[in-house]
Amino acid sequence: MKYERFEQLPVREAGIELAVSIYALTQQPAFGGRYSLRDQIERAAVSVSNNIAEGFERGTNQELLTFLYIARGSAGEVRSMLCLLERIEVFSGLKRELGNLKSRAESVSKQLGAWIRSLRDSARQGERYVSEKTRRADQAARERREFLAKLEQIRRGSE
């Protein structure tokens, strides 16, 4: 499926859900008075979906890759902070929730990694470089492949 808008991207939605869950976590009483820790993990979580959106809107694969790496780094930062929280005594009552959030952040990182690999292996440069001429050429190539596949099916059917 080709996504037209960043709002359609499943990994961005997963990033939003991660941020929402982090905000719910930081409302816990254990975060009371720990403003810098709370602020840092919230900003890292929000950075994931924001960088996916910004990269998507840039229109080139190279810029998208740059922002996907930043988003992946932010997901790693969230995981690192969750690991830290697991070691701080005041957060000991949140171990299960912290573990679940680490898994979610890791899932987002894996999704971003897969997307990064597919973009690195792609010959396309991005939407900014697609003209009507390249759209027509892509369509013609797609129709040719479909036609050749049908011919092959016919050939195999008559053997």
pTM: predicted TM-score of the whole model, two decimal places = 0.76
Work out the angle at residue 128's Cα, subtended by the Cα atoms of residues 63 and 60, and round it to the nearest 5 degrees.
15
The string of pLDDT tens digits covering residues 43-90 is 999 999 999 999 999 988 899 999 999 999 999 999 999 999 999 999
Question: CA 90, CA 29: separation in Å to the nearest integer?
Answer: 10
Helices 35-58 & 61-87, crossing angle to 10 degrees? 160
Structure confidence at residue 151 as a pLDDT band (50, 70, 90): confident
